[in-house]
Amino acid sequence: MSAKVAAGLALILVAAGCQRTEEFPVEPRIELKSFTTHGDSASLVITFTDGDGDIGLGQGDTLPPFDVAPWFYNLFLDYEEKQNGVWVRPALLLPLYYRVPVITPSGQDKTLEGEMAVALTPWPTIPNTPFDTVRYVVKLVDRALHESNTITTGPVVLP
């Protein structure tokens, strides 16, 4: 085997051993995978990425700024209803905020990519509203308080 072929083969083996990890920004990024209703409940599934892997809050995360709203929570769903052709967030509806548990990966590569599902039971709507179309606006916040982009479910016509 010539020296050039041996050097080329060694270079290919070294390059094959260096797998490049995907890089994401430190701000979480979310996308809607699905929003489905099942009678009086609903299911929201989102995909997410985070470059520094600091998604989620632990049970001990209760010191400032995680001791009060809004940062006591890290997944935010806002209910909107279509009123006379305009999307409105009714003032009387309680917010739909959740604490996603810590999902930081172990090892050197801290990037995260995955999906999460939220079961909405019962499906939160305003009883006896005269408006029949609703949607949800979703945002995720990491432990460094980096806010994700916001996504919106498609409109859902109430039964």
Q: Which of 132, 120, 122, 136 is nearest to 157 (CA)?
A: 132
CA dihedral 124, 128, 131, 137 (to 10 degrees): -10
Q: What are phi and psi of 150, to 5 degrees?
A: -100, 145
- Residue 104 located in a structural domain: yes
pLDDT at 84: 93
Q: Is the pLDDT of residue 24 over 80?
A: yes
**Identity at 53, one-letter amino acid code:** G
The larger pLDDT score, comparing residue 93 to residue 64, is at 64
Q: Is 3 helix (H, G, I), strand (E, B) or coil?
A: helix
DSSP label of 26: S
Domain count, the chain: 1
- Residue 148 located in a structural domain: yes
- Residue 47 located in a structural domain: yes
pLDDT at 123: 75
In tens, the pLDDT along 103-151 reads 877 777 778 899 999 998 877 777 778 888 999 999 999 999 999 999 9
Q: Is the pLDDT of residue 6 over 70?
A: no
Q: Is the pLDDT of residue 3 over 60?
A: no
pLDDT at 18: 40
Average pLDDT of the chain is: 82
Q: Is 125 helix (H, G, I), strand (E, B) or coil?
A: coil
Is 0.85 surpassed by the pTM of this model?
no
Q: What percent of the chain has pLDDT over 90?
A: 47
- Residue 42 located in a structural domain: yes
CA distances from 130 to 24, 47, 92, 125 (A): 43, 33, 15, 12
pLDDT at 69: 85
CA distances from 64 to 60, 74, 97 (A): 11, 14, 18
Q: Is the pLDDT of residue 35 over 70?
A: yes
**Identity at 101, one-letter amino acid code:** P
The Cα–Cα gap between 24 and 113 comes to: 9
- Residue 1 located in a structural domain: no
- Residue 29 located in a structural domain: yes
- Residue 32 located in a structural domain: yes
pLDDT at 21: 59
- Residue 14 located in a structural domain: no
CATH number at residue 144: 2.60.40.10
- Which residues span the domain enclosing 77? 23-157
